[in-house]
Amino acid sequence: MPAPKHTIEEIQAAIAEEGSKAGAARKLGLDLRSMFRRLNRAESREGYTAHGYSTLRKFTDDEGEVILEWEKTSKDKQQQAEAFDEYAKGLMSKIKPSKPIKAPKVQNTDLINLFVISDYHLGMMAWHGDNTDAGDWDMKIAEDLLFRWFQTAIVQAPDADTAILCELGDFLHWDGMDAVTPSHGNILDADTRWGKLTRVAAKLKRRIIGLLLEKYSQVHVKLVSGNHDPASSGLYRVMMDEIYINEPRVTVDMSSDLYHVFEFGNTSLFFHHGHKRSPKNVAEVFIAKFREIYGRTEFSYAHLGHRHSTQVAEGNLMIVEQHSTLAAPDAYAAHGGWVSKRNAKVSTYHKKYGKVGELVISPDMVWGAK
């Protein structure tokens, strides 16, 4: 049966009504990619075409206050970038910095605990019927699990004076109004709308940083960009930096590079999502970018995500670890046969001796054995 035909005007009206292209495609019974192509062809002939309005809301518990509106368009990437800049400005204008809280008693200054969350895919929808026994995944499950995971991990981790919170990319399942992959426009299984997703993400980050501040004298935050959230990861770096601008015990790595580093005494820690370089060839990039730090440290460790499974490789230059995820696989991963053990880790490093401990915590350990 041939797909229903709709005019460009009807498609644009549906987008304005539904609030997203994905929603319009579902309403009209159109293939999203085909609809994108039709819109792009029309815009190339007609020039800049408005697609409706998107209302942005502040990231607090009080929902509904309009802070900014702009005309939603899709002329080109430059136009999208300008709109995103306005989005960020609107958010920043409403952020109230957190007040400093009393620091805990100084603990072991020779140790640092690294909390790594990789490929969390907040906002994804997964159903056990598609994923056999891998479990369900939605916003409520994801929010509850992550907060309780940190409660568990902080208690079980060894005493240390400093913590690193590292989101190793793809913390959000998608990166804009439409639940599609940023690069290729593939439709994703989504549980919620962009507005709710961003509010929950902001609240989670603040609650987690708050937990860490109760235990550690210093908290370093690294929000690494992934292939699912290249824009929003940058937005949250700015947001967290503004929120904790008056808290001297929190530092936020503001680098927009895809490769990050942290130096702790005789130990160097490197971070990359893993979508541009694999465990086999990432070491040379880290060394080239951070030559001085690598040269003055004896123990070097790289942390990657992206593939949702654990892999550790010890080479001549550094130990490279690919991290698993706490998230359940969606239908795409399950049907493709990509199976992994769900967990996240706390790694402990000594200022003189490198890595001295590791804590692996699975969802079952948080929720209790089934």
Report residue 92's pLDDT band, with 50, 70 and 90 as the boundaries.
low
Residue 209: the pLDDT is 97
Mean of pLDDT values over 54-65: 42
pTM for the structure as a whole: 0.76
Mean of pLDDT values over 130-141: 76
Tell me which of 232 and 50 has the higher pLDDT: 232
Report residue 82's pLDDT band, with 50, 70 and 90 as the boundaries.
low
Mean of pLDDT values over 196-202: 90
Give the model confidence (pLDDT) of 1-42 as tens digits.
444 578 887 887 777 676 566 677 778 888 766 776 676 666
pLDDT at 139 over 50: yes
pLDDT at 61 over 50: no
Residue 183: the pLDDT is 76
For residue 271, is it left (φ>0), alpha (ψ between -120 and 50) or beta? beta
Domain boundaries, the chain: 1-47, 53-94, 111-367
Cβ within 8 Å of residue 270, ≥6 positions away: 259, 260, 261, 282, 286, 290, 300, 301, 302, 303, 318
For 111-367, CATH number out of 3.40.640.10, 3.60.15.10, 3.60.21.10, 3.30.365.10 equals 3.60.21.10
pLDDT at 248 over 90: yes
Mean of pLDDT values over 113-133: 84
Q: Which residue has the tokens 């609240």?
A: 203
Question: Contact at 8 Å (CB) between 123 and 137?
Answer: no
Residue 57: the pLDDT is 41
Tokens of 27: 């309403």
Integer Cα distance of 236 and 245 in angstroms: 14
Nearest alpha carbon to residue 312 among 266, 347, 361? 347
Tell me which of 332 and 299 has the higher pLDDT: 299
Q: For residue 87, what is the enclosing H or E element?
A: helix 77-94
Residue 218: the pLDDT is 97
Tokens of 50: 């408005």
Mean pLDDT score across all residues of the chain: 83
Q: Identify the weakest region by mean pLDDT among 60-69, 85-94, 308-317.
A: 60-69
Residue 193: the pLDDT is 83
Mean of pLDDT values over 49-59: 43
Tokens of 358: 């590791």
pLDDT at 282 over 90: yes
Integer Cα distance of 243 and 253 in angstroms: 14
Half-sphere exposure for 331 (CA within 13 Å, toward CB): 8
Tell me which of 33 and 270 has the higher pLDDT: 270
Tokens of 303: 């942390």
Residue 83: the pLDDT is 54
Nearest alpha carbon to residue 342 among 316, 315, 308? 308
Mean of pLDDT values over 109-138: 85
Mean of pLDDT values over 116-133: 81
pLDDT at 242 over 50: yes
